[in-house]
Amino acid sequence: MKGPRGWIFRNVTLQARPGELVALEGPSGSGRTCLLLALTGRMKTTEGKAEVDGLPLPRKMAAVRRFTGLGLVPGVSELDPALTVGEHLRERAMLQHRFGDSLSALLHPRRERAAARDRVAAALKAAGFDPETLHRGDRTSVRDLERLEEIRLSIALALIGEPRVLAVDDADAKLSGAERTEVWALLRSVAASGITVLAVCRDAPADITVIRTEEDRTEEEGATDALAETGRS
């Protein structure tokens, strides 16, 4: 991908299987988030080719977006601080219902509502997020959540859509060492369920596949280079 100031990322080679956790590792400003958004059909690349579940990018970006989910990505999928946890969950379930199988919802409304409740419950469990443990339960405002709670809620919201690919930005930002350990354990758990997980970070654990993005200012000021590393697993 190339922008007005040069390359945002390039020279990327990646093959990720279902159930694999891949880290996009590098310093802030090195093209990590743009690469994440490109791989999930949310940002158009300049050249090269890619396939997600057999669909070519960038030609089938809209189709890829339908089965890829975003956790927290600043400026793209942020939580609304004015809403409560429960409001976020209900809104996401309603959106999933609205853009899901509308004929089934029309013919079997009660069954669809029950299925939506089950999806929300399963997503919360998979994300390790229990609203009842919060000081005001699901009426807790998002602005009152800790960083780790925000990450868990955002992953739960993404999982409500039952994605085949989950993308998480800044997975290790603003967290203590113990909290980072929790996040990586969570992402491994999600991947173990068969979902391909892509996580942007500064420092990835040593036992997962890593694509490293690095600053490259040899051609144009501000240009970046994404270098594929061999998996560390």
Domains along the chain? 2-228 (3.40.50.300)
pLDDT at 104: 55
Confidence class for position 111, pLDDT limits 50, 70, 90: low
CA-based nearest residue to 77, from 40, 116, 114: 40
Between CA 84 and CA 100 the distance in angstroms is: 24
pLDDT at 95: 81
Task: Tell me the per-residue pLDDT of 128-158, one tens digit each, with 9 for 90 and over.
Answer: 999 999 999 999 999 999 999 999 999 999 9
What is the per-residue DSSP string for 84-147? BHHHHHHHHHHHHHHTS-HHHHHH-HHHHHHHHHHHHHHHHHHHT--GGGSTTGGG-BGGG--H
Asked if 41 contacts 64 with a C-beta cutoff of 8 angstroms, the reply is yes
Backbone angles phi, psi at 211, to 5 degrees: -110, 120
Tokens standing for 206? 């040593």
Among the listed ranges 7-21, 132-146, 149-163, 202-216, which one has the minimum average pLDDT value?
202-216
Asked if 75 contacts 170 with a C-beta cutoff of 8 angstroms, the reply is no
Confidence class for position 217, pLDDT limits 50, 70, 90: very low
More confident residue, 23 or 207: 23
Task: Tell me the per-residue pLDDT of 17-46, one tens digit each, with 9 for 90 and over.
Answer: 999 999 999 988 889 999 999 999 999 999
Taking 90 as the threshold, does the pLDDT of residue 169 lie above it? yes
pLDDT at 117: 86
Task: Tell me the per-residue pLDDT of 53-100, one tens digit each, with 9 for 90 and over.
Answer: 999 999 999 999 999 999 989 889 999 999 999 999 999 988 876 545
Tokens standing for 207? 């036992």
Among the listed ranges 10-14, 101-105, 194-198, which one has the minimum average pLDDT value?
101-105
Tokens standing for 139? 């009426």
Mean pLDDT of 164-181: 96
Between CA 229 and CA 52 the distance in angstroms is: 20
Asked if 8 contacts 175 with a C-beta cutoff of 8 angstroms, the reply is no
As a residue count, the chain comes to 233
* Residues forming a β-bridge with 70: 167
> CB count, 10 Å around CB of 97?
18
Q: Can you give the pTM of this predicted structure?
A: 0.86
* 202: Cα separation from own chain's centroid: 16
Between CA 191 and CA 20 the distance in angstroms is: 6
